[in-house]
Structure 1
Amino acid sequence: MAQLLALPEEQRHEIIDGQLIPKEAASGGHGGIQLNLGATLVGPFGRRPPGGPPERPGGWWFATEVLIELGPGQVYRPDLAGWRRERLTSLPTTVPIATRPDWLCEIISPSNAATDTVKKMWGHHRAQVPYYWLLDPRDETLQVYRWIEDGYTLVLSASRGERVHAAPFEAIELPIDLLFGADEHEPGSRPLVDEARRADCARARRGRRRRTRCHRGASGR
């Protein structure tokens, strides 16, 4: 542990099975996915409960790439981590954080996929982290795992073009396209805004010919 903490911050390392392991520097694509997911979750969930309407329940703390001690010889630096506020009055400032997260997410890097999908998964299970997400840029998929006594069980697998309610954040609809950087006008992606409604709003603004309520986000006709 002392060796890990003595390293400069820019030298990102973890302790996995007692070994000091460098964590691969994030590529632009990796960082973009991390930012997209964080922004998607912080808005609805990153506030004190009750956070507002059902789709904005609040109740979580989030952090990116902080050191978390999950047990002897296991100090990880996950891409994203979340803690329920009912368990923590504030986000810990200690390094490493010793409180078990309620949710972890890793974005798989091609050079160390086995670390995220095998070694860390078992470390998370031993620490009883309830939910573990894996985002894979290679095939642009999300896999959601839930803790059970014998291991993690896959409860959701989704890819581009799908919108899902993924535990433990079922309160919102999560467009998989959005996580991997698709623009709403990109061919083959589903629009995140109702295009017919957008057109009606544009006509109303230009000519004032209609009295149309304009909303951000998807809406029905």
Structure 2
Amino acid sequence: MGDGNGSGKGKSVSYDVLEDVPPTKVGEIIEGELVVNPRPASPHARAASKLGGWLDGPFDEGNNGPGGWVILDEPELRFAGTGDALVPDLAGWRRERMPRIPNTPVFSLAPDWICEVLSPSTYRWDRGPKMRVYARAGVEWLWFIDPLAEGLEIHRLQEGQWRLHEVHLGSGTVNAVPFDAVPLNLSRLWSR
């Protein structure tokens, strides 16, 4: 079993192994390897919660914003034919692609946007293997939030490759694509 240190690399595992992951951990299958990490620490959890709260009103519900999105916390993603089972911190689908949320614990339709909140235990997985899987699945936008460094990186998939689109640091207000219709005050995301 992978523990975030690369043990078990190259061995393929089945989805059944996820049933044995304790509820105090997050289990994923990334490029054929079971990766089990602890639940996030408070700066990570706060950044994800605050971002989800900010997105919900204007983008998911359409309150004081354009709507048009389905935003979910920690959905399990299993893309056809890959064997991967990934759990991003947040994911969003444009409503024209997912007009209704399916009654299922697992999503096979690739999101249009994913956000990973970086932590020491997940950093190398988020910025390496998971990035590759998201690119193969065709996710258009990928955000990395680093609550300790107080930074937001925005990547866009172009011709199958991730391109760094924007980097925002500190506590300013930004218009972060694809949610640039409503300004985001970055200081909301950082634990104080």
Band of TM-score, shorter chain: 0.7 to 0.9
How far, CA to CA, are the matches of 1:125 and 1:141 in structure 2?
Answer: 22
TM-score scaled by structure 1? Answer: 0.75
| Separation of aligned partners in 1, 2:19 and 2:138 | 25
Under a length normalisation based on structure 2, what TM-score does the superposition of the two structures give?
Answer: 0.85
SS of corresponding position for 1:154: strand
Sequence identity of aligned pairs in percent?
35
Cα deviation, residue 66, structure 1 = 1.8
Aligned pairs for 1:70-85 (under 5 A) are: 70-71=79-80, 72-85=82-95
Structure 1 CA distance for aligned equivalents of residues 185 and 26 of structure 2: 30
Q: Whose RCO is larger (CA < 8 A, sep 6+)? A: 2
- Residue equivalent to 2:17: 3
Counterpart pick for 2:51 among 32, 37, 41:
37
Letter in 1 for 2:70: W
Could you tell me which amino acid in structure 1 is paired with residue 85 of structure 2?
Answer: V
Q: Does 1:119 align with 2:133?
A: no
1:61 aligns with 70
Using the TM superposition, name which of 77-86 and 18-27 deviates more: 18-27
Aligned CA distance change for structure 1 residues 108 and 30 (closer, same or farther; 3 Å): same
Residue number in structure 2 paired with 1:152: 162
Would the alpha carbon gap of residues 62 and 112 (structure 1) be closer, same or farther in structure 2, given more than 3 Å must change? same
Deviation at 1:164, TM superposition (A): 1.1
State the match for 1:14 in structure 2.
28
**2:100 aligns to what SS in structure 1?**
coil
- Which residue is 1:129 aligned to? 139
Q: Tell me the equivalent position of 2:104.
A: 94
Deviation at 1:9, TM superposition (A): 4.2
| TM-superposed deviation, 1:5 | 4.0
Count of equivalent residues:
177
Could you tell me how far 1:162 is from its partner in structure 2? 2.1
Which secondary structure state, in structure 1, belongs to the residue aligned with residue 181 of structure 2? coil
Aligned partners of 1:36 and 1:181 also within 8 Å:
no
What are the ranges of 5 or more consecutive residues in structure 1 without an aligned counterpart? Answer: 183-221
Q: Deviations over 1:169-207 (max 9, x none)?
A: 01011111111145xxxxxxxxxxxxxxxxxxxxxxxxx
- The residue that corresponds to 2:3 in the other structure is none
Find the counterpart in structure 1 of residue 9 from structure 2.
Answer: none
The SS at the match of 2:50 is: helix
- Distance in 1, matches of 2:57 and 2:120, equals 30
Q: Supply the RMSD in Å over aligned alpha carbons.
A: 1.7
For the residue of structure 1 that corresponds to 2:54, the secondary structure is helix
Higher strand share: 2
Alpha-carbon distance in 2 for matches of 1:42, 1:88: 16
Aligned to 2:7: none
